[in-house]
Amino acid sequence: MTMRLPPFLIAATLAVVLTLLPYVTSAVAQTPAPTAARGAPAAAASPAAASTAAAPGPAAQAGAKRAALTSGASGPLAYVPNEGAGTISVIDTASDQVIAELPGGSKPRGLAVGRDRRWLYVSDQPQSRLQLVELGTRRLGATIALGESPEGVSISPDGRWVVAALEGKNEIAVTDTRTNALAFSIKVHGKNPEHAVFSPNGRLLFVSAEEGDAVDIIDFTSRKQVAQVAVGARPRGIGFLPDSSRAYVATENANEVFVIDTTSFAVLARVKAGLRANGIAVHPDGREVYVSNGGDANVSVIDTGSNQVVATIPVGQRPWNMALTPDGKKLYVANGRSNNVSVIDTASRTKLRDIAVGKLPWGVAIR
């Protein structure tokens, strides 16, 4: 005997089914696909999906390019601006081999390395500008108009500010590395500023006025000059003890190094150096200061405890600006007339080797 449902019950059941149908469909759509058993091959992604997943963004691409420059390097890199060649030689300080030659503008001189090693900031003197060099692509980047005849360049300890001494304007031009744009300029009293160097604590900026026979001292927080210290004729390179307590200033025509207290701004000592004392580098432990003597083709070593020269190391012709590796074990000296860089072992105070670079190397920056 066939059993028939009453019409009203059929209608009620159909209404319930129609009401629940959208929810059942949504739940099925959201249910994840079964996970493959351990050891079973995974389903291959579509070519389009794989391509999308593998494509790095601009930041990752830039990082990969910068890594390519350092991929063969096992130590910090030394960057050497060659003003006669318009290039920048890149030296691996572990192997002491030149691993790259970068474009540097028409006449590169002062140079600073950005903290992330993305950009080099290079003074291009004839063009009155700061030339940016992109390390990832190894190509020239943007330029920043500064003013007449930029020379020495340095970067603040926190990496935010790059300063350039403008010989023709008697100013210090300050670039903000966050925007790579000129932020402001600071007037100095001295004539023809050559170098502008931050104290390690970032509070002071010492500026050597090579035609003013003086050092101009700027309080960087207030962006104003707060003192001027008379030194010997034609001051050049500047360096600080790691605790910022003392500054050492080479005077080229006086053949001396002036030691300045950074609190009282008094001259504490005058150290006799070699002929045409020029570049200054300070060991990270603060015990020794190195002075390049352009006319003697050597480097003097000053003991900071006694403020006396304790060693003299022969290098190439017309040694100019210098830099130490972060651990202080090696000193790199740009020899302008020899077209090379001398490498000094600071422990034994001996020259290890000379590295051929471009024409008329002006200095060294290491990061």
Q: What is the pLDDT along the chain (367 residues), one digit of tens a residue?
A: 444 545 444 444 444 444 444 443 444 334 443 333 333 333 333 333 333 334 445 455 445 444 545 555 678 999 999 999 999 999 999 999 999 999 999 999 999 999 999 999 999 999 999 999 999 999 999 999 999 999 999 999 999 999 999 999 999 999 999 999 999 999 999 999 999 999 999 999 999 999 989 999 999 999 999 999 999 999 999 999 999 999 999 999 999 999 999 999 999 999 999 999 999 999 999 999 999 999 999 999 999 999 999 999 999 999 999 999 999 999 999 999 999 999 999 999 999 999 999 999 999 999 9
Q: What is the pTM of this model?
A: 0.82
Tell me, what's the pLDDT at 41? Answer: 37
* Side chain identity at residue 80, one-letter code: V
Pick from 166, 89, 162, 155: nearest CA to 125: 166
What tokens appear for 301 in the block?
């070593």
Q: CA-CA distance, 201 to 242, in Å (whole number)?
A: 9
Q: CA-CA distance, 331 to 366, in Å (whole number)?
A: 10
Q: CA-CA distance, 244 to 241, in Å (whole number)?
A: 5
H or E element that contains 64: helix 58-70
359: which DSSP letter? S
Cβ–Cβ contacts within 10 Å for residue 194, how many?
A: 22
Q: Tokens 């079973």 belong to which residue?
A: 40
Tell me, what's the pLDDT at 75? Answer: 85
What tokens appear for 173 in the block?
């031009």
